[in-house]
Amino acid sequence: MLVGTGVIKADAVRHCIAVGELGLDGSIRPIRGALSIARRVAASDCTADTTLILPATNVGEAALVRGLRLAAPVTLGELVSWLKRGALPAPSPRGGAVRELDSVDLSDVAGQEGAKRALAIAAAGSHGVLMVGPPGAGKTMLARRLPTILPSLTDAEALEVTAIHSVAGILDPSAGAVTRRPFRAPHHSVSTAGLVGGGSSPRPGEVSLAHHGVLFLDELLEFPRGVLEALRQPMEDGTITIARASASLRFPARFALAAAMNPCPCGHLGDVSHPCVCAAAEVAKYRGRLSGPLADRIDLHVNVPPIALARLSGRDSGDGSLAVRARVEGARARQRARYRSDAECNARVPGRWLEIHGGLEPAGRAMLTSAGERLHLSARAFHRVLRVARTIADLDDCQTVCEQHVAEAMGNRPRGAATESSHTRGTA
């Protein structure tokens, strides 16, 4: 329009691509998806002398794309004066991404060694974890500390996460790129579209916003079953497909699932200091709300018992996040060496492959087989235990999966009404 009305010459914008939202006051307002746009422009064949003009608020994310010329006016007036002068100034560069200090730490949690150990295993192998315990035991507190023991984002991962958050319109413009692993904790009133994505102009859901990070479902049984069912595809594939009449869209959704629930309706089953008032049938019905297929896809189940008041003030809080993260990074490095790919980790390796190439010792194999027969483990459940055992061995810096690794993995296997038995469900 500016060219058409003679305000600027056509030549001035010949090698420009401009995106933005124009406010009534002439301000150029931020847009969603600027990083994806910048990546597309950079990947096209017109980049050499092309300048991408975009809102100043979006420049941090777009600057992540190397070798692309940018201009970032704050108002339309500013842009017009630049174009008249024939010079588009480059935005000032920003510093690189550094890992910020976390404001919470695993050592904030007193006791709960079993749960902390399960979180370390979950972080090391990218396994899902379900915590079961009474209210006030520290489940939510523990889950919020899971990101602090996960490895730092790689540059490639940071770029992917930033792109998704940009498309969703939740990027903090003052921060530029996302540098920490996402932690998403949707409320149980979330809709299916909110959880997995959707809408008339499809937006990524919580599973995609949690990509490369943690999706935490607190009070798991309060989520409607239909909403939880929608988690199956992303948990299997690491992506989510949103089908529309016009086209189907795919968003990445590779997250570590953490979930928490009470053991019974009143919450105090197994609590010695607080009697449970639920009838056995009520407990069974309550537990039955956890769908077998979902429970089956969460590798680690851990009891989080009530903690004695005296221990809360005690100094027995164990290792801090930094020390645990160092061990997690070590275990990840061993997995990368084994699978020779950045993306692979024990949670996603085919069970058959692990059985053959995973270093399972004869004694470990014997223990796994006999437990599998005794407990009627399905092939899927059998492989899940093996994957967790492999991660425990990696945390141990042990080449082979031994009896003690299998034993510990068995201790964290799913237990629930509808899981695991090959009598009640088909095998994998």
Ligand X SMILES: Nc1ncnc2c1ncn2[C@@H]1O[C@H](COP(=O)(O)OP(=O)(O)O)[C@@H](O)[C@H]1O
Residues 257, 234: Cα–Cα separation, whole Å: 11
- d(CA 200, CA 248) in angstroms, rounded, equals 12
Compare residues 114 and 194 and give the one whose CB is closer to ligand X.
Answer: 114
Name which of 111 and 198 has its Cβ closer to ligand X. Answer: 111
Beta strands in 115-222, from DSSP E residues, in sequence order = 129-132, 183-184, 197-198, 203-204, 214-217
How many Å apart are CA 121 and CA 385, to the nearest integer?
Answer: 12
Please give the torsion angle defined by the CA atoms of residues 406, 412, 417 and 418, in that order, rounded to the nearest 10 degrees: -60
Residues 296-325 that bind ligand X (CB under 6 A): 307, 312
Residue with Cβ nearer Zn ion (276 or 398): 276
Which of 138, 176, 213, 351 contacts ligand X by CB under 6 A?
A: 138
Residue 261 CB, nearest distance to Mg ion (Å)? 9
Backbone dihedral angles phi then psi of residue 316, each to the nearest 5 degrees: -115, 40
Question: Does 20 sit near ligand X (CB under 6 A)?
Answer: no
Q: According to the binding rule CB under 6 A, does residue 169 interact with ligand X?
A: no
Site membership for ligand X, residue 139 (CB under 6 A): yes
Query: Taking a C-beta distance cutoff of 8 angstroms, is the pair 421, 137 a contact?
Result: no
Looking at beta carbons only, is 27 or 140 nearer to Mg ion? Answer: 140
Q: What is the rounded distance in angstroms from the CA atom of residue 158 to the CA atom of residue 285?
A: 42
- Chosen from Zn ion, Mg ion, ligand X, none, partner binding at 87 (C-beta under 5 to 8 Å by type): none
Q: Which of residues 359-388 bind Zn ion (CB under 5 A)?
A: none
Contact 80, 2 (CB under 8 A): yes
- Residue 428 to residue 418: CA distance in whole angstroms: 15
Q: Which of residues 253-272 bind ligand X (CB under 6 A)?
A: 260
Q: Which is nearer to ligand X, 138 or 186 (CB)?
A: 138
Binder among 31, 76, 249, 278 for Zn ion (CB under 5 A)? 278
Should residue 79 be labelled a site residue for Zn ion when binding is judged by CB under 5 A?
Answer: no
Q: Which does 47 bind (CB under 5 to 8 A by kind): Zn ion, Mg ion, ligand X, none?
A: none
Residue 269 touches Zn ion, criterion: CB under 5 A:
yes
CA distance 157 to 179: 9
| Nearest by Cα to 213 from 131, 168, 259, 151 | 151
Q: Considering the complex, what minimum distance in angstroms separates the CB of residue 415 from Zn ion?
A: 17
Q: Does 136 bind ligand X (CB under 6 A)?
A: yes
Residue in 51, 57, 112, 126 binding ligand X, rule: CB under 6 A? 112
Rounded-to-10 torsion of CA 286, 292, 297, 298 = 30
At 47, phi and psi to the nearest 5? Answer: -80, -30
Strand partners, 396: none
Q: Which does 312 bind (CB under 5 to 8 A by kind): Mg ion, Zn ion, ligand X, none?
A: ligand X
Considering only 221, 260, 266, 328, the residue that binds Zn ion (CB under 5 A) is 266
Nearer to ligand X, 132 or 168 (CB): 132
Q: Quick one: what does residue 278 bind among Mg ion, Zn ion, ligand X, none, with the CB cut-off 5 to 8 Å set by partner type?
A: Zn ion
Is residue 137 at the binding interface for Zn ion, with CB under 5 A as the rule?
Answer: no
What is the binding site for Mg ion (CB under 5 A)?
140
User: Exposed, middle or buried by CB within 10 Å (0-12, 13-18, 19+), for 353?
Assistant: exposed
Across the strands, what pairs with 248? 243
Residue ranges that bind Zn ion, judged by CB under 5 A: 264, 266, 269, 276, 278
Residue ranges that bind ligand X, judged by CB under 6 A: 109-112, 133, 135-141, 260, 307, 312
